[in-house]
Amino acid sequence: MSTIIAPSILAADFANLQRDIEIINNSEADWLHVDIMDGMFVPNISFGMPVMDAIHRHSKKPLDVHLMIEKPERYLRAFKDLGAFQITVHEEACPHLHRTIQQIKELGCKAGVALNPHTSLNTLEYLIADLDLVCLMSVNPGFGGQKFIQTTYEKVSRLKELIVTRGSNCLIEVDGGVNFETGLKLVDRGANALVAGSYIFNSANPAQTISDLKKKLAEL
């Protein structure tokens, strides 16, 4: 299986959102990553429902929706209806995480759990077999362009061991500070999907940046 590249629309030019979505449409990217922030779970606000609707109408890539919000179960149906093929919720925001995962699956979406950098993998030990994806935050969530947290490499390796031990088929996604250098190391440790924002959208040629990264990862 080739490594999944999911550009984060949070790093796009919001004044030219359709243009940047079209760039991703015409690239080798696999998914479009959409961060939803509520200003409460994280200290920032990103997209509301109208913008999500616009992204859905213009994107030709599957929408990988990452809910960085409190009580995400309130909005699962809404994001499904707005085009999400996969919905990821934070372990830290869900007191009844198993129930929330089941609700996502009942909607017909892939279900993921995100972990903040400080959160232990032990929280997933008895849930990992029910997940389609685990998203490891390699920066503190809320803002793009942050420096990559080096301990993420070890966390990816340990998560891979847990997945194998529990007989799970879930993917490992890493979100934050991903670039050419960190991306290669993460995939070497067991990551299957990379979320990249600033690295892609701040480059001179985003589509070429994605292509170059895909090509190099395929050589591993």
| CA pair distance 43, 120, nearest whole angstrom | 22
In this structure, are residues 159 and 190 in contact, taking their beta carbons and an 8 Å threshold? Answer: yes
Write out the residue range of the structural domain in which residue 22 sits: 4-218
| CA pair distance 22, 27, nearest whole angstrom | 9
Residue 147, pLDDT score: 84
What is the average pLDDT across 45-56?
93
Task: Answer yes or no: 130 catalytic.
Answer: no
Is residue 120 predicted with pLDDT exceeding 70? yes
> What domain count does the chain have?
1
pLDDT digits (tens, 9 = 90+) for 8-37: 999 999 999 999 999 999 999 999 999 999
Instruction: Classify strands 84-90 and 133-137 as parallel, antiparallel or unpaired.
Output: unpaired
Is residue 136 predicted with pLDDT exceeding 70? yes
Q: Which of 35, 38, 64, 132 is catalytic?
A: 35
Residue 187, pLDDT score: 97
CATH number, domain containing residue 113: 3.20.20.70
Average confidence score pLDDT of the chain: 95
Amino acid at 59: S
Task: Answer yes or no: 35 catalytic.
Answer: yes
**Between 146 and 52, residue with greater pLDDT:** 52
CA angle in degrees (0–180, nearest 5) for 89-101-88: 25
Residues belonging to the chain: 220
Q: Which of 20, 64, 132, 175 is catalytic?
A: 175
Is residue 128 predicted with pLDDT exceeding 80? yes
Ramachandran assignment for 173, one of left (phi > 0), alpha (psi -120 to 50 degrees), beta (any other): beta
Is residue 105 predicted with pLDDT exceeding 90? yes
pLDDT digits (tens, 9 = 90+) for 166-188: 999 999 999 999 999 999 999 99
How many other C-beta atoms are found inside a 10 Å radius of the C-beta of residue 40? 12
pTM: 0.96
For residue 157, the SS3 value is helix
Residue 144, pLDDT score: 62
Residue 210, pLDDT score: 98
